[in-house]
Amino acid sequence: MSEELQNVQVGIIGAGPAGLLLSLLLARVGITSVVLEARSRDYCEGRIRAGVLEAGTVELLDRLGLGERLHREGIVHNGVDLRFNGESHRIDLPALTGKSVMVYGQHEVVKDLIEARIAAGDPLEFEVSALSIAEVTSARPTISYRDRHGNARTVRCDFIAGCDGFHGPSRQAIPADVLRVYERVYPYAWLGILSESPAITGELIYVNHERGFALFSQRSHLVQRMYLQCAQDENIEAWPDERIWDELRARVAGNDVPDLVSGPILQRGITPMRSFVAEPMRYGNLFLAGDSAHIVPPTGAKGMNLAIADVTILAEAMRAYYADGTAHELETYSETCLRRIWKVERFSWWMTAMFHRDENDDAFGHRLQQAELDYLSTSRSAQTALAENYVGLPLRV
């Protein structure tokens, strides 16, 4: 079959939160796009990942008309508990910032975005293969691929948005002598479970314990999402249900905490811990957004929110360009995003370092960690700094 050529203003690679949201933001101002995704729709909608939404993310989804199910099924959190030495210390988010966060799974956000894209009748292709990017420094770069039926396709566009994650092809299209990579791999991982059991509390609990970090959160009133710090090379088969529940109870034990009720474990997995930033986020007419440009450890719940901030900035830059030919925001896109990204990287690194037990650290380091937590539990100024970062920094910082 002969190759089919599509002409759009923006070619978007990746149907995760970043790519899908960008497509909707562009459509609202009349900018045409196509979204291409290597995975199936079922995979994209079924991949369970963290889902703490910053206040700004919730406001944006509301403006796009995507808040109905979010507010019906999501859980508002007005605080987080920091737990160490067997005691909890609550950070009151509204009292400190006037804002809250919402717990709503990333896969649920993706479902809502996919439904909105399809309802609008705009191009969205799943299960594409052999995708390649060319001519990104030209006025009309191209994306070549095969659709789910094996037919050769080419997209010619003004701009390419690489929203295809850490392992996608977009970042690889930037020459090695241009791209700068900053990375830190942490010497531990998370063992995460999804369980059918009542939530231990109504808000997240971050635990610093001599046996390692633990996190207690919920996806609904009957489904919990919980994590345990484990070895970097941990074997999931070494963790039967009983061991997981015993370890969760051991790490949360102490004063003022309800009993942890066990239940069927629906899903389990190991999550590696990494901080990663690639600069610049623009090369020619190729723009990176989300995990293709940066990764944060999940401790601060920032991954999806950071991706959404990227594409919000990119959509506004493209709107300005098509509305009046102003290219300044496109030219400064990378600089604008990276200023915020590095602040979020700092916060995620700080939360990670404060709560995890590093076996390579010495007794002095462990005492400093305890002093940091003690200061945080008693200083309103320190709590305000945490709360401001947790509910979400402004887009432009």
| Active-site option among 77, 209, 294, 356 | 77
373 three-class SS: helix
The answer to whether 126 and 15 are in contact (CB under 8 A) is yes
- Residue 258: CB atoms within 10 A of its CB come to 10
| Active-site option among 206, 227, 283, 333 | 206
| Active-site option among 17, 141, 297, 298 | 298
Give CA–CA dist 340/328, Å, rounded.
Answer: 18
Q: What sign results for the dihedral spanned by CA atoms 149, 150, 152, 157?
A: positive
Helix (H) or strand (E) holding 286: strand 286-288
Q: What residue spans of the chain are helical by DSSP H? A: 17-28, 41-46, 55-63, 68-73, 93-97, 106-119, 241-252, 303-324, 328-331, 333-355, 363-378, 380-391
Radius of gyration of the chain (CA): 22
298 labelled catalytic: yes
Give CA–CA dist 254/41, Å, rounded.
Answer: 44
| Active-site option among 302, 321, 333, 356 | 302
Q: Where are the beta strands (DSSP E) in 46-179?
A: 52-53, 75-77, 79-84, 87-92, 101-103, 124-125, 129-134, 142-146, 152-156, 159-162
In Å, what is the CA distance from 78 to each residue of 97, 112, 233, 356, 390?
Answer: 10, 24, 35, 24, 11
Retrieve residue 373's tokens: 């937590």
99 labelled catalytic: no
Give the catalytic positions in this structure: 77, 206, 298, 302, 390
